[in-house]
Structure 1
Amino acid sequence: MSWAALFFALAVATVVLALGVGLLFWLERAREARLYARYTGVAATAGEPAARRDHPWLSRMAAGGVRIERALNAGEQTRTLLAQAGWRQTRARLMFHALSFAVPVATALLITPVLLTLATALTPPMRVLLAVMLVIVALLLPRFVLRWRARARRDRIEADVLLFINLLVLLFEAGLGMRQALAILARDAKDTMPALADELAPLVRQIEAGADADPLLHETGKLLEIEALENVFAVLRQVERYGGEIRQPLLDSLNELQSRRSMALREQVNKTSARMTIVLVLCFLPPLLIFIAGPALMSISAALGSS
């Protein structure tokens, strides 16, 4: 490594150290300001969320994450994924936006010494390309994690729809109305279908506060993007709007869902059978041919060799 690269690495390390010391100093000043405001009785800004008041540095990092999302034109999609992942609380959204900003910044700061260390092994274009690739991965990594979390939660909710329909039919047969049935499931079904019960809880709270159930059911179904749950909510909306029999439409939805799952299971079994056939051909057939045809080939080879 040349002296210029060594001095450049020391300069970068000094800048990083200075930024770290400055960040610690700024955090200490913010903590002292909060303590001063608490002991002197100075009120916080009206309407400001508690998470932002208690952690102003976190809110600033979250603002940087929001700006990154705006630059990527992914704000609406992020809000949908956060709702599907169950991260509706202010603090959860704040933490996600803060990580969306902190991960690429930390990656950019950490890869600089690594690239300087590999200065002799890589050409300058390769170093720039590697740095750009790592920063892009760091920008997209929080969104990949969010997508994985949202997909996993949607799968759990979709798996609970069958039980949800059965419980609804049972509660309706007991003489309860739609709102009472949803309230009971949101309150008492957390052990059997926790993901779906958590999704029903804010819906029930808004209905009990006086909101119209029809648009709430429609928005919840569209937000989760689960077709089976949308069909169930469509039946509930129809009954809420026009009245009438609800047991038979729910049973029809139940039969349709069961037939779809049966077809999906058969398709998965067929795919597994095809894969097992490929494994059988590749792994079992060659040893079998060697075992059957091997002695004959050896005898023919010996006979030809002796002649």
Structure 2
Amino acid sequence: MTPQQLWIMSLVFASIAIGLMAAGLLWRVRRASQAQAQVEKILQTRETNVAGTPPFPIPGLGTTPAPGSKPGNEAASVADSIRPPAWLETGIAKALLADEDRKLLDQAGFDLPRGGLLYIVSRAVLAVCLPALALLILQPSGLKALLVGFIPFALGIMLPKWIVRSKAAKRRAQVVEELPLFVDLLRLLQGVGLSIDQSLQILASEFGSVLRVISTELTLANRLYNSGRTREQSLQRLSYLGADDDMNAVVNLLVQVDRHGGAVQEPLKEFSIRLREKRQASFKEKIGTITVKMTGVMVLTLLPALLVITAGPGFTAVIRSLSAMGGR
């Protein structure tokens, strides 16, 4: 057998092995979801038998039970949706989904059970299919086959991570843009006499059109808080989204006010002023950078036109005089 045929056979066997591992992971996920649904059904039935009627939401603001209360079915499902499943602790899952990748998935807005499974399967499939496709199209031989197989393999491993990192960077930039408006709206709602819980509920439900990323994270944080998590645990994902320490500072302020109480309007006002001054400084820095970049553009585009306009008549006069002297 030729080396190329050996490569193709090895890739076929590797793809079959990866397919079997993916099928095993899907089977584990299905079993875990079925067991979870059965447990939730049993707990819901027990709560209904004890309380008589299931919990119902408060109109306009949703359910706001105390942190020690029993979670409802929806809140428990949301809490379980961000909990890492058991199959993510296996060796292959840890190799293809490291801690950095899990943080990137959180920042990109994907949940670990579905997003992690899609991430691992995409890396495995691309790592096998891209080298096989490159070998079938180029048909190299010898050491060239190793190079042609390794480059698509590395590309297949890294391509999903680059896509997730790009989406996470866009969401962090969007959070930086939404943060001043979020602070101002929170200060406004606190000024009319609403509590922290009510303010966060209204920001999550009523301002989704202007706070696209923050409102989504606040919705998840409110459901986690209703399911029994503390305010610090429920806002942990939101603190990871900030490209700098500003969002982390706002989350720490909300946690301290929820834990110890106190007025929050004046700190939010000072923080809003500092955010706007910081944004103005960043705009000035960008303007200075654009000015430096435009200098090179002006040299490349305007300088030839200026030379033609200013030195063109002189050049034509010199050429005419030289041609006249040559004619004599």
Q: Structure 1 length as normaliser, TM-score?
A: 0.75
**Could you tell me how far 1:77 is from its partner in structure 2?**
0.6
Asked whether the 8 Å contact 2:222–2:234 carries over to 1, the reply is: no
Structure 1 residues 128-207: aligned runs within 5 Å = 128-207=146-225
**What is the correspondence of 1:6-17 to structure 2 with a 5 Å cutoff?**
12=8, 16=12
Q: Tell me the equivalent position of 1:256.
A: 274
Aligned AA for 1:239?
Answer: V
Structure 2 counterpart of 1:249, one-letter code = P
CA contact 1:160–1:196 (8 Å) conserved in 2: yes
Other-structure match for 1:99 = 122
Equivalents in 1 of 2:5, 2:228: separation in Å? 63
Alignment of 1:224 with 2:241, yes or no, is: yes
Deviation at 1:157, TM superposition (A): 2.1
Residues 154 and 224 of structure 1 are in contact (CA less than 8 Å); yes or no, is this contact kept in structure 2?
yes
Question: Does 2:67 match 1:49?
Answer: no
Letter in 2 for 1:189: F
Query: Which amino acid letter does the alignment assign opposite residue 84 of structure 1?
Result: Q
Q: Is the CA contact (8 Å cut-off) linking 2:122 and 2:160 kept in structure 1?
A: yes
Whether 1:77 aligns to 2:100 is yes
Task: Indicate which of 210, 222, 228 corresponds to 2:228.
Answer: 210
Paired letter, 1:207: Y
2:293 maps to 1:275: yes
Measured after TM superposition, the shift of residue 262 of structure 1 is 1.0
Q: Which residue matches 1:115? A: 138
Residues 174 and 213 in structure 2, CA contact (< 8 A), matched pair in contact too = yes
> CA–CA distance in 2 between the matches of 1:52 and 1:112?
44
Residue 268 (structure 1) shift: 1.3
CA distance in 1, matches of 2:35, 2:171: 25
Inter-partner Cα distance in structure 2 for 1:195 and 1:204: 14
Q: Equivalents in 2 of 1:93, 1:249: separation in Å?
A: 38
Q: Are the equivalent residues in 2 in contact too, given 1:157–1:195 (CA < 8 A)?
A: yes
Amino acid at match of 2:237: T
Deviation at 1:300, TM superposition (A): 2.4
| Higher relative contact order, structure no. (Cα contacts within 8 Å, ≥ 6 residues apart) | 2
- Residues 31-57 of structure 1 show CA distances to partners (whole Å, capped at 9, x for unaligned) of xxx9xxxxxxxxx9996125999xxxx
Report the count of equivalent residues.
271
CA 1:11 to 1:233, structure 2 compared with 1: closer, same or farther past 3 Å? closer
Q: Which amino acid aligns with 1:296?
A: G
Conservation of the 8 A alpha-carbon contact between 2:214 and 2:238: no
Paired amino acid for 2:286 = Q
Unaligned runs of 5+ in 2: 38-86
SS of the residue aligned with 1:284? helix
- AA at the equivalent of 1:48: A
- Two-structure CA RMSD over aligned residues (Å): 3.7
The SS at the match of 2:215 is helix
Aligned residue for 2:32, secondary structure, equals coil
**Secondary structure of 1:94 counterpart:** helix
Where 1:190 maps in the other structure, the secondary structure is coil
Q: For the Cα contact (< 8 Å) 1:65–1:97, is it kept in 2?
A: no
How far residue 136 of structure 1 moved from its aligned partner, in angstroms, is 0.6
Residues in 1 aligned to 2:269 and 2:199: alpha-carbon distance in whole angstroms: 16
- Matched with 1:56 is none
